[in-house]
Chains A and B, each alone.
Chain A
């Protein structure tokens, strides 16, 4: 049911275009829902808006967070069942929504996405992660599905190995570190014809650097006082953990596997975003572009964008 009395609702309208996580954040930054005092949030997804996998996952995290703070969220698809809804439904977006979120014109049937799960041609799926409840076979299933998407590629096994590494490490990170009660998400989109793969993992925790820095200060690490970009590079090149020097190789090995495929890395967290391009010498500080993140979205969002040459 479309909201009446729209003054009571804060309103976000996504662009009528392909929308990735950066585009979503740009839209949200102009009127961040967390900062708005109104308890009612309407997120309009017009016809012609094509939500990409990284944006879909980020939007799910935002919706979870808004619902957790007691806000009423209404996802408005312009009152008609359109291609955008079909696309999001195929990837399992609506199945992952909290039950209290309203969808207009109506919530799609969960049956369709369940039937399509695992059978999408471009391998497009979103999976929930929660400590103690995550499917222990999830990283393997995603890695196997990715290999199956590129059956004739000589890179098949390496791709599968990279996917298992990334999903294994990043999902484990959420399970180990996310004290929050909200779900994290893991998603994969493969474009066999375009020879591209996107690996996305998001959570609603306290944020990568926000949890790491206090721990580094506590143990007197030389990295405690360095700039954020420097810290990010250290995590990617050598590994750092809030649990001590013997842990923290997870993000580093993900970066190593990403470099095998010349992947770009997008890290979004509360307060700032980092876009990192690979170089022959690995991920370097000179190749990080940094900007303030004014969306107010909690947690850490990681997207690896592989190119298979």
Chain B
């Protein structure tokens, strides 16, 4: 039953996402500089706006060979900043981890976390959560969705403390949130990883 529930949650998670292959929106395998970054920003933004119901956009780096730091800073990181809190942007299909060094620098400079998925494992680029919120972040990343109540139960926290941590992670750009009907009939916040 638990496995079925987890599968349903995962399927719902996937249904809210869309993959954009960045290379298809670039003029070359390599990306560099402000100008190319801004051009990619505009093209990816058009795709995002065309699919307004989608909550998480997975940017595939398949086919992207090399970039400097300005290119991701002006393109994908800038988009993540723009949509922080409302939509999620993460990276997928990175064949060479060394490509990410410059993306990490770009994310740090914009103070914008950016999650890169490789299978079921993730790497967090950019700023890291505070020591106090690190455990909460790890927990949220383990499943498609979490509530403050669930976090409080697992970590042995007061409900208000768990809520604060999740709100801080939301404001920091690490996770997303939506309002849903609670089992009790009221409204509760559901926090989601960006995947």
Contacts and interface: CB of A to CB of B under 8 A. Distances in A.
Contacts of B35: 172, 175
Contacts of B32: 139-140, 164, 167-169, 171-172
Given A139-B32, A161-B98, A252 B70 contact: no
Interface string A159-179: 011001101110110011000
Contacts, number: 81
A253 B73 CA distance: 12
B109 A172 contact: no
Interface stretch (A57-65, A211-219, A225-233, A242-250): A242-250
B66 A247 contact: no
A142 to B, nearest CB: 11
Interface in A217-268: 239, 246-250, 252-253, 256
Interface residues on A, range: 20 to 34
Interface in B23-59: 27-30, 32-36
A157 B95 CA distance: 13
B109 A160 contact: no
Contacts of B73: 247, 249
A168 B70 contact: yes
B128 interface: no
Interface residues of B, number: 27
A160 to B, nearest CB: 7
| Secondary structure type dominating chain B contacts | helix
Contacts of A249: 69-70, 73, 105-106, 108-109
B68 interface: yes
Contacts of A248: 109
B138 interface: no
A248 B109 CA distance: 8
Nearest to B30: A140
Nearest 6 Cβ contacts at the A-B interface: A168-B32, A168-B68, A172-B33, A249-B109, A253-B69, A164-B66
Interface of B: 27-30, 32-36, 66-71, 73, 96, 98-99, 101-102, 105-106, 108-111
